[in-house]
Homo-oligomer: A and B are copies of this chain.
Amino acid sequence: MPELRHNVLTREWVIIATERAKRPQEFATKDDGKRVNPPYVPTCPFCPGNEAMTPPATLVIPDDGFWRVRVTPNKFAALSYEGERLRSFEGIRRTITGVGVHEVIIESPDHSKSTGLLEDSQVETLIDAYLNRFNFASQDPRVEQVTIFKNHGLAAGTSLDHPHSQIIGSPVITSQIRDRMINALRHFDEYGECIFCRVLEVELREKARIVMETEHFVAFVQFAAFTPFSMLIMPRRHMACFSEVSDAEAADLARILRSTLAKLYYGLMDPDFNYTIRTASREACGVKYFHWYLSIIPRLTKVAGFELGSGMFINTSLPEENASFLREVSAG
């Protein structure tokens, strides 16, 4: 019989289709497998030598006279850098001018290497760039929430192959963070504990859904994972805001992120995926009830009318099988 599982972080029920669940390897990309890109493409705006094709860089992390990671404003920004944040209220209509920050973080000069295939040290530089730009965007008085995210592959919504992440500083708190914060605050009020710390403690005790552990982080498939192979990477130490990570934690995050993505790459033949960092804003650093984490969402299934109409997902795989499969895959 299928099982409904409750996600305590989002208060959403997920149908785990235990009986018609597919085996983990059935989710591997079926077409030509891993994508093959050349290391340099003359027309790619993110390839070295083509820097003039993007707006001027806002951060360049150098490497022996060249760059390791390069950040530029998004040429097709969803929000405007210029202008004031103005609110308008008229009856039920509420609008805000679309101002904020929207940057592209080019992950390495190499066009061909997806994030999981980079050196750990390169991903460490990438995390440093995330922190730098997170702090930069957070300082903009028009910005309430900073979202770091990555799109890999067509199904994940990217149009450019060269590995890159993005950062958007939006003039409102995003609904996903707002709703998780309200939920976490209520849990803290009722039980006097961080709900995220509690989830981590239970996952570490039950072990069945752990994908890998490092000194400072744990990667696991959630008990009520909404899609196959979706995972959280959560810091062991309670921290509300991403910007609170220490240097040692940042380096460790690079290792576990790189390894987890490599496991997806080798285990499922380079699937399309998104990841995003869910964090409190910098002003909320230190609150006891929220806990930042990174969420990885492989795009292996389609969202259909039931999910759109109900908010309830049908996961045709078993979180425990996902995790045990990925545990066995070498991270290269």
Binding site for B on A (CB under 8 A): 1-6, 8, 11-13, 15-18, 20, 76, 78-80, 82-83, 91-99, 145, 147-151, 154-158, 166, 168, 170-172, 174-177, 179, 195, 198-199, 202, 223, 274-278, 295, 297, 302-306, 308-312, 314
Contacts and interface: CB of A to CB of B under 8 A. Distances in A.
Contacts of A310: 145, 147, 168, 170, 174-177, 276
B305 A156 contact: yes
Number of copies of this chain that the complex holds: 2
A71 B155 CA distance: 33
A4 B98 contact: yes
Contact of A1 (B3, B80, B166, B277): B80
Contacts of A176: 309-311
B149 A305 contact: yes
Contact of A17 (B18, B78, B149, B172): B78
Contacts of A83: 1
A174 B98 contact: no
Nearest to A17: B78
B13 A175 contact: yes
Contacts of A199: 92
Given A98-B15, A176-B311, A223 B156 contact: no
A157 B149 CA distance: 25
Nearest to A79: B2
Given A94-B6, A174-B312, A306 B147 contact: yes
A309 B175 contact: no
Nearest to A91: B202
B2 A80 contact: yes
A151 B301 CA distance: 14
B274 A304 contact: yes
Contacts of A13: 96, 170, 172, 174-175
A223 B88 CA distance: 14
B92 A198 contact: yes
Contact of A305 (B8, B154, B166, B305): B166
Contacts of A295: 308-309
Contacts of A76: 20
B198 A308 contact: no
A302 to B, nearest CB: 4
A99 B13 CA distance: 13
A27 B297 CA distance: 27
A317 to B, nearest CB: 13
By CB atoms of chain B within 10 A, which of A4, A78, A151, A295 has the most?
Answer: A4
A305 B3 contact: no
Given A1-B99, A149-B308, A177-B310, 13 more contacts: A2-B98, A4-B96, A4-B171, A5-B93, A16-B98, A78-B306, A92-B202, A145-B310, A154-B302, A157-B305, A172-B312, A176-B310, A278-B309
17 contacts: A1-B80, A2-B97, A3-B96, A4-B171, A4-B172, A5-B93, A8-B92, A11-B175, A15-B79, A78-B306, A91-B202, A155-B302, A166-B305, A176-B311, A274-B308, A276-B309, A297-B305
